[in-house]
Chain A
Amino acid sequence: MTTEFKVHTLAELAAQGKEAEMLFWVGCAGSFDERAQKITKAVAKLLHKAGVQFAVLGTEESCTGDPAKRAGNEFLFQMMAMQNISVLNGYQVKKIVTACPHCFNTIKNEYPALDGHYEVLHHTTLLNQLLGEGRLKIEGGAFKGKRITYHDSCYLGRANEVYEAPRALIEKLDAALVEMKHSKAQGLCCGAGGAQMFKEAEQGKQEVNMMRATEMLETGSSTVAAACPFCMTMLRDGIKNNNKEQEVQVLDVAELIANAMDL
């Protein structure tokens, strides 16, 4: 158990005349979704443990506009983006870490053209760096020797070619990393992207997350590692609809690390 700590907002720090080393962009799922909140907390604990002076935006954060953009509502996207950028630039934010690949992709790739220039990291990349620098240490822990399969998030993997950082983290747990039929550049979507999360699927033979669940179960892993709160929802539903929620757990890579470190 860690000692109690408090997560500060940039507004609080600014009032004290202080600055943060980096902003932790939590994202809507990480803020509101009960399951994703656990990922958010795991990331916060890990950052705190590593001694990263981070802060959040709190109520000043809003959606990056990603689902609006993917659904074709460029007006709404750019309105949200410009408002966010004006908040971020107001606090002179330089570096951002986020646990959501959609936020990551949007802020990293689509905000610069709207005058939002930041160094943006996904939490798996940052955690990997912190381990490399010795600011975090893992000792095997609960996952030693366990079969873990990793689900590539489209917006982390294909969209931004982050394939190795999450895998490197899993390997640091001394776990046996098993790949699914579709992985890395050939990874199969969980079914949430492109604003599908917010609508019913079109008519077909199967839901996308059910197909992915089959691939996950085929690996015989007791743990599925995810790196995106939307994938988390879809994969858990897929496992649940296969009545396998007792045998197979879906955890974010950050949660795996936090568990292994007893945080």
Chain B
Amino acid sequence: MYQSILFVLVSAVSVYFFARNLAKIRRNILLGKDLDLTDQPGLRLKTMLKVAFGQTKMTSRPIPAFFHFIVYVGFVLINIEVLEILMDGIFGTHRVFAALGPVYNIAIGFFEILAALVTIACVVFLSRRFIYKLQRLNAPELKGFPTKDAAGILIVEIILMGALLKMNACDQILQARNVAHYIQAGSFPVSQFLVPFFDTWTSESLVIMERIFWWFHILGIFAFMNYLPFSKHFHIILAFPNTYYSSLKAKGELNNMASVTQEVQLMLDPSAATPPGYTAPSSFGVKDVQDLTWKNLLDAYSCTECGRCTSMCPQNLTGKLLSPRKIMMDTRDRLEEVGRNIDKNGSFEPDNKNLHSYISEEELWACNTCNACVEACPININPMEIIVEMRRYKVMEESAAPSSLNNMFANLENNQAPWQFSPSDRGNWMQDLN
């Protein structure tokens, strides 16, 4: 009884804080500019099923794809058991789904195998990061919190899986001893090997241990849930909406700025009347996160910091400062900072910073706009769009392009070509076709 009350209280508090943080993130994402991405719902659903559920873009790297798939399936399926834990916790029952009979036994057996595989996968991931030191997982932008974030979750995952298996080990001994409350249910292909460690214990101690592991498992899950909004692991939720709202356009297409179209039309045709309700645009391009679209901001919260983008970036591969992953991490960091500013002041108070305080010109001007990062992202994040939007701000608001690019602009204006050739020579090649 006490356990049930305590459990309901703990669950309510966890859900409350989780919901509050979700609402905050939603508010932060909606600080971005409007963008209508509701067209073609069928195609969007298909993209989400393929890319997020089916993880099709992971397959280009088979080893991490395989282990990630295990953790993913483990996470989704073991959560069915969490449902049972929730019900047992609330109603004071034990293994309430055991009524399902043989299906239950198979399910529990399957979860045990998954738990073991997930543990192995987490060990593999840790060793890739810390023993084999894969370059992708040891880049400069991962120093500090991002690395602790990655390692922490892997270790907690291993401990949680361990708690689940040890709980089952105690449970099956109690079942075998016909201790009241511990009904005969489940199959234990993995935890049976842990039985020898607990076999000599008294039933009273085993009940206590079983309860401890049970509480540890569920508290761990609540803690994980509440940690998600602060972590790269938030992708386990946002990967789905993020792929649903993927761009359906050709990757090569950059948006045409409508505000510029209006201005250029007025400029090319001075006699044109300004349309009713015309207001001159206040600024062009992206200065701070609020100037990005909500999709860019959703991208930032969805990023798992896996670095596939950076590992395919031609500029990063050749040792330049630019890293598409860092663009996404900086965007999220700045957005969080703006969010905290709003929490504190009620509305955003200028803080003498903007997204350009995080992302340098050296990074912005290095981009080849080659779309390798966009192609590489397993959940369709687009770092390139943010780079181009920030270049727009540099050029159109600050006239701060590198001088060689300013020369190119001047050539375009004067010669209609990026080089200093005379427009009248454009057809010269036709004179001699051989």
Residues of A whose CB lies within 8 Å of any CB of B are: 4-7, 9, 26, 28, 30-32, 37, 40-41, 44-45, 56, 58-59, 61-63, 65, 67-76, 78-80, 82-83, 105, 108-110, 113-114, 154-155, 158-161, 185-189, 191-208, 210-212
Chain B proximity of A260: nearest CB distance (Å): 17
- The docked-state distance in angstroms from the alpha carbon of A26 to that of B401 is 28
Option from B263, B285, B370 in Cβ contact (under 8 Å) with A193: B370
Chain A proximity of B412: nearest CB distance (Å): 6
Chain A proximity of B359: nearest CB distance (Å): 13
Stretch from B23-31, B207-215, B388-396 at the A interface = B388-396
Chain A proximity of B373: nearest CB distance (Å): 10
B202 at the interface (CB under 8 A from A): no
- The docked-state distance in angstroms from the alpha carbon of A110 to that of B318 is 30
Q: For residue B412, which residues in chain A have a CB less than 8 angstroms away from its CB? A: 63, 65, 67-68, 76, 80
Check B433 against A45 for contact (C-beta < 8 Å).
yes
- The docked-state distance in angstroms from the alpha carbon of A56 to that of B429 is 12
Q: A72-B396, A189-B368, A202-B321 are in contact. Are A41 and B433 (CB under 8 A)?
A: yes
Q: For residue A78, which residues in chain B have a CB less than 8 angstroms away from its CB? A: 256-257, 260-261, 264
Check A41 against B434 for contact (C-beta < 8 Å).
yes
Check A63 against B426 for contact (C-beta < 8 Å).
no
Q: A76-B412, A109-B252, A198-B404 are in contact. Are A31 and B268 (CB under 8 A)?
A: no
B249 at the interface (CB under 8 A from A): yes
Q: For residue A206, which residues in chain B have a CB less than 8 angstroms away from its CB? A: 318-319
B424 at the interface (CB under 8 A from A): yes
Check B250 against A32 for contact (C-beta < 8 Å).
no
Check B252 against A194 for contact (C-beta < 8 Å).
no
A-B contact pairs, 5 of them (CB 8 A): A32-B417, A70-B369, A74-B260, A80-B412, A82-B268
5 extra A-B contacts, CB within 8 A, seeds A160-B252, A186-B372, A211-B314? A62-B417, A75-B264, A79-B267, A185-B375, A208-B314
Option from A56, A82, A160, A198 in Cβ contact (under 8 Å) with B408: A198
Q: For residue A159, which residues in chain B have a CB less than 8 angstroms away from its CB? A: 250-253, 371
- The docked-state distance in angstroms from the alpha carbon of A130 to that of B315 is 38
- The docked-state distance in angstroms from the alpha carbon of A204 to that of B256 is 32
Option from A7, A75, A198 in Cβ contact (under 8 Å) with B263: A75
Interfacial residues of chain B within 377-409, with CB under 8 A of chain A in the complex: 388, 390-396, 401-402, 404-405, 407-409
Chain A, Cβ-Cβ closest to B313: A189
Option from A114, A195, A197 in Cβ contact (under 8 Å) with B261: A114
Interface size bracket, B side: 35 or more
Chain A, Cβ-Cβ closest to B403: A199
Chain A proximity of B307: nearest CB distance (Å): 15
B101 at the interface (CB under 8 A from A): no
Q: For residue B393, which residues in chain A have a CB less than 8 angstroms away from its CB? A: 72
Q: For residue B253, which residues in chain A have a CB less than 8 angstroms away from its CB? A: 105, 109-110, 159
Chain B, Cβ-Cβ closest to A61: B426
Check B320 against A154 for contact (C-beta < 8 Å).
no
Check B365 against A208 for contact (C-beta < 8 Å).
no
Check A72 against B426 for contact (C-beta < 8 Å).
no
Check A31 against B260 for contact (C-beta < 8 Å).
no
Q: A75-B260, A160-B252 are in contact. Are A62 and B423 (CB under 8 A)?
A: yes
Q: A72-B388, A110-B253 are in contact. Are A191 and B434 (CB under 8 A)?
A: no
Q: A31-B417, A67-B418 are in contact. Are A199 and B318 (CB under 8 A)?
A: no
- The docked-state distance in angstroms from the alpha carbon of A185 to that of B401 is 30
B419 at the interface (CB under 8 A from A): yes
- The docked-state distance in angstroms from the alpha carbon of A114 to that of B255 is 11
- The docked-state distance in angstroms from the alpha carbon of A166 to that of B26 is 45
Interfacial residues of chain B within 304-345, with CB under 8 A of chain A in the complex: 312, 314-315, 317-322
Chain A proximity of B396: nearest CB distance (Å): 6
Q: A32-B421, A63-B417 are in contact. Are A188 and B372 (CB under 8 A)?
A: yes
Check A154 against B370 for contact (C-beta < 8 Å).
yes
Q: For residue A204, which residues in chain B have a CB less than 8 angstroms away from its CB? A: 315, 318-321
Q: For residue B257, which residues in chain A have a CB less than 8 angstroms away from its CB? A: 74, 78
Chain A, Cβ-Cβ closest to B387: A194
- The docked-state distance in angstroms from the alpha carbon of A23 to that of B374 is 32
Check A73 against B372 for contact (C-beta < 8 Å).
no
Most interface-central of B250, B388, B430 (chain A CB within 10 A): B430
B52 at the interface (CB under 8 A from A): no
Q: For residue B421, which residues in chain A have a CB less than 8 angstroms away from its CB? A: 28, 31-32
Chain A, Cβ-Cβ closest to B410: A76
Q: For residue B264, which residues in chain A have a CB less than 8 angstroms away from its CB? A: 75, 78-79, 82
A-B pairs, top 7 by smallest CB distance, nearest first, are A159-B252, A205-B319, A72-B391, A62-B416, A194-B369, A204-B319, A109-B253
Check B367 against A158 for contact (C-beta < 8 Å).
no
B155 at the interface (CB under 8 A from A): no
Chain B proximity of A207: nearest CB distance (Å): 7
Q: A32-B425, A202-B320 are in contact. Are A56 and B252 (CB under 8 A)?
A: no
- The docked-state distance in angstroms from the alpha carbon of A85 to that of B352 is 42
B34 at the interface (CB under 8 A from A): no
Q: A45-B433, A75-B260, A114-B261 are in contact. Are A56 and B427 (CB under 8 A)?
A: yes
Q: For residue A154, which residues in chain B have a CB less than 8 angstroms away from its CB? A: 368-372
Q: For residue B428, which residues in chain A have a CB less than 8 angstroms away from its CB? A: 31
